[in-house]
């Protein structure tokens, strides 16, 4: 039943729709003054939160696929990755525009003053080559092995993203959400690490 649903021709359009819904809500809420007393901050944080969730879901595809024997889940990994990059790009754009007025000098001073912004920029820089090579032609151009080696950058991003999140919340001493997401990322990456290590330990 689940496999049939995942392979249905409507599954991908539905997945795109579900990924677009948070963005649609944020745009609607902003247009109708429902983002609270500081709508710019709410929009920036909301876009960042959905980029974080998208990254987590993208990394969770392989563990879920293997655990529940659902190979069709692989169809959605690239889709989720592209949406994650989209939300991250909008998060950065909203910060640069709504907070900094697209003033590059002001952005540079803010990076120097607030290191969590620098870590966030690093996270985005790591996402860029993955998004730029997310299409089939890039795999053929780079070759399978080099493409896979490049896309292992995705395993670094949770560390920089979580550091960005922890550092950002440090000012308000509010670590509940950063701790929650750090645990989830640790579980996903820990599972992958164990899958890689287990056969090597058995062969030793």
> When comparing pLDDT for 150 and 119, which is higher?
119
pLDDT at 67 over 80: yes
> pLDDT of 143-160, one tens digit each?
878 888 888 888 999 999
Band of the pLDDT at 77, cuts 50, 70, 90?
very high
**Domain residues for 152?**
2-203
| Confidence at residue 204, expressed as pLDDT on a 0 to 100 scale | 62
Residue pointed to by tokens 């330990």: 201
pLDDT at 127 over 80: yes
Mean pLDDT over 22-37 rounds to: 93
Token reading at 39: 């709508």
| Confidence at residue 28, expressed as pLDDT on a 0 to 100 scale | 95
Q: In the chain, how many domains are there?
A: 1
Taking the CB of residue 199, how many other CB atoms lie within 10 A of it?
9
How far apart (Å, rounded) are the C-alpha atoms in residues 97 and 49?
A: 18
> pLDDT of 30-46, one tens digit each?
999 999 889 999 999 99
| Confidence at residue 142, expressed as pLDDT on a 0 to 100 scale | 83
């Amino acid at each position: 039943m689940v496999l049939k649903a995942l392979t249905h021709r409507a599954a991908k359009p539905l997945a795109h729709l579900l990924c677009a819904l948070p963005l649609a809500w944020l745009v609607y809420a902003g247009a109708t003054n429902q983002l609270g007393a500081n709508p710019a901050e709410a929009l920036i944080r909301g876009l960042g939160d959905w980029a974080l969730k998208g990254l987590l879901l993208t990394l969770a595809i392989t563990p879920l696929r293997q655990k529940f024997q659902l190979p069709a889940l692989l169809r959605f990994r690239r889709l989720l990755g592209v949406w994650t990059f989209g939300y991250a790009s909008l998060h950065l754009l909203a910060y640069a525009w709504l907070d900094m007025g697209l003033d590059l000098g002001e952005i540079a001073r803010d990076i120097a003053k607030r290191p969590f912004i620098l870590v966030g920029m690093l996270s985005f820089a790591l996402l860029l080559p993955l998004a730029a090579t997310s299409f089939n032609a890039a795999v053929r151009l780079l070759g399978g092995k080099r493409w896979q080696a490049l896309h292992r950058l995705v395993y670094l991003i949770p560390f920089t993203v979580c550091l960005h999140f922890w550092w950002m919340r440090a000012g308000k001493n509010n670590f509940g959400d950063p701790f929650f997401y750090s645990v989830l990322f640790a579980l996903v990456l820990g599972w992958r690490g164990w899958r890689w290590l287990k056969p090597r330990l058995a062969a030793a």
